[in-house]
Amino acid sequence: MIDVEDLIALIRNYNPRTNADLIRDAYEYGRRMHEGQFRHSGEPYFTHPVAVAAILTEMRLDDATIITALLHDTIEDTRSTWTEVSQLFGREVADLVDGVTKLTNLQLSGAHSKQAENFRKLFMAMSRDLRVILVKLADRLHNMRTIKSMRPDKQLQKARETMDIFAPLAGRMGMQWMREELEDLAFKVINPEARNSIIRRFVSLQRESGDVIPKITGDIRAELEREGIEADVYGRAKRPFSIWRKMQEKQLSFSRLSDIYGFRIITRNEQDCYRTLGVIHHRWRAVPGRFKDYISQPKANGYRSIHTTVSGRDGKRVEVQIRTRQMHEVAEAGVAAHWAYRDGVRTENPFAVDPGEWIASLTERFGEEDHDEFLEHVKLEMYSDQVFCFSPKGDVIPLPKGATPLDFAYAIHTRLGNSCVGAKVDGIRVPLWTRLKNGQSVEIIAASGQRPQATWLDIVVTGRAKAAIRRSLRQEDRTRFIRLGSELVRVAFEHVGRKVSDKALRTAARTMALPDTDELLARIGSAEISSHDVLTTLYPELAAVSSEIDARRAVAGLEADQEFTRAPCCSPLPGERIIGITYRGKGVVIHAIDCPVLAEFEDSPERWVDLQWREGQHPAAYSTKLLLTIRHDAGVLGRICTLIGMQGANISDLEFVDRKPDFYRLRVEVELRDREHLHALLTALEAESDVAQVSRIRDPSAHVT
């Protein structure tokens, strides 16, 4: 474990004005709080907070962040409290420690819905102070470096969480070195065989051709010296996971993989970057399509550099990165550069972007997106590489790789995206699903009457576009659902000889704890509430009479104390031949005699009960599901609902299965009297010109277990 004086010496290397006494106090307080606690490896637990603090000194971070690292587990794992930390070390440190504690308690790799909610909490904490995530990333890095002492199942869980969340987050924060190390440490746990295979291939390659890195480095230095360019040149083999990812993406074997070596040239100024590029391309042949200028077009996280791939010594492809010293510091430190110190003064790096900009762009939409949408948006933002396109005015619009003209339109303004009807790329009309490339000029064609289509969700890739489209569709759906709900309620009321009124709807909405009648109708139209629920809320006697008749008279062959339910797999109707199957605790479940589920009970004849429907008039109370394909046109859905009502059937549920520009496919649950009633309804629907197809739904997978 690093001694406190050694830790202070590390801090003084970049911040001579550090408050050494406060660091000593924090070190001693943390050591005392964690006394008697041990890690899985058997080491004293306090070795971990000290190691995290040491990692943060490599980023030259301020005293408050270093102290937070020393205390980051005290509130969670010891008798320490926020109040005590605040009194001893100040509110700033107490709030940072509390923020890290809350991040530690978030389960980011659990069930999807919980993960989505916790992602939102993660970004809320980051938006308050980004130093919280810097401590958390350093905490995760040390845990991954020492992961061997954990149980194998715990190792795998932590490694997957690191690969899926913390590594890409570090990259999005501009801390590429940390991303690469986290990925490789996680890769070592998730797929050790693949990693070892790549390392073995490296060793074999070096044995065959020697260590090419010093040779190529020497070649580059010689060329630069010849042109009088002062620069530092570094070379390295890429990390195993980086190589593995390229092998997977390009579906190449190791022997066919190029540019497994990377070289970095650090120049004195920006002008020398472009001079160096000219020297490299003059000496070695550039690989087409592998040049990126992130100096003139920086990445969203502030990263600036020139990337090019050339055929180097012996025809081996190598990647070359060219940047200035300041650009290099940004690339290494990322957002940490905003709290970094040099010679006791906080550094102001002119090339670093505002670290809160990306977080702010996400958090400002917290109220507009649900948890799942937010999770999808964040993951898209974290994993995406970028392309840069131009508007007709020459503005540069950064977009993730794979973006389309629709994403471009929404990136400019939501109104432009909503009204988009077409696009021109480099002056040529293209489909909206075209994938944009670097440097293309995009012109959006808009029309005032256009509205977003549901199919657009499959076209766009940016979270901003997806959120805007969903928001517009929800509003459009609400209007349609209100109209549909009105029709469903009217038909339901007429079916029982009642007349719907505004007063009745207001009473139902109030009784069902809904804000107004529009919300009631929208929920009926979207199948969240059935019109039957509204009827029974206003007229409870209808439901009571109906259930009394069902239970007493519907089926013959049951014992006096036996109850029955209809099997959801076949939903038999009066008039159809039926058989009963007994279930412990569930009474008798009746199936249609031709239900395929009955084959499962052939070896249990003692469970079979001979039943039949009673003759006579049954109430329209037996739910049956129909699958309809209808024309997508104004008023069609309302006419279909009216037609069903005219046949004496009540719609109890309705769900859209598929929406296309020219047709709708929907699942409708109707309440019928018997088989003849079903036949009459199907005949009427098949005769309707707006109905392309109608069938009864029977689902063997839905049987009782």
354 annotated active-site: no
Q: Are 609 and 582 in contact (CB under 8 A)?
A: yes
Query: How would DSSP label each residue in 71-107?
Result: HTTHHHHSS--HHHHHHHH-HHHHHHHHHHHHHHH--
List all residues 6 or more positions away from 187 whose beta carbon is below 8 Å from its beta carbon.
Answer: 163, 194, 195, 240, 241, 244
Percent helix, percent strand, percent coil in the chain, to nearest 5: 50, 15, 30
Burial of 131 (0-12, 13-18, 19+ CB in 10 A): buried
Q: Among the options 77, 180, 372, 550, which is catalytic?
A: 77
- In the chain, DSSP finds a helix count (H) and a strand count (E) of 28, 23
Cα–Cα distance for residue pair 633/129, rounded to 1 Å: 52
List all residues 6 or more positions away from 605 whose beta carbon is below 8 Å from its beta carbon.
Answer: none
Count of beta carbons in the 10 Å neighbourhood of residue 87: 11
List all residues 6 or more positions away from 82 whose beta carbon is below 8 Å from its beta carbon.
Answer: 75, 94, 97, 98
Which one, of 398, 447, 448, lies nearest residue 423 by Cα? 447
Inter-CA distances, 60 with 126, 134, 304, Å: 20, 12, 21
Cα–Cα distance for residue pair 333/99, rounded to 1 Å: 21
**Helix spans in 112-254 (H):** 112-128, 131-145, 152-161, 167-172, 176-190, 192-209, 212-226, 240-250
Query: How would DSSP label each residue in 577-591?
Result: -EEEEEETTTEEEEE
Q: Among the options 76, 164, 372, 690, which is catalytic?
A: 76
- What is the distance between the terminal CA atoms of the chain, rounded to a whole angstrom? 58
Tokens of 302: 């502030």
Torsion of CA 254, 255, 258, 259, to 10 degrees: 70
76 annotated active-site: yes
Active site residues: 76-77
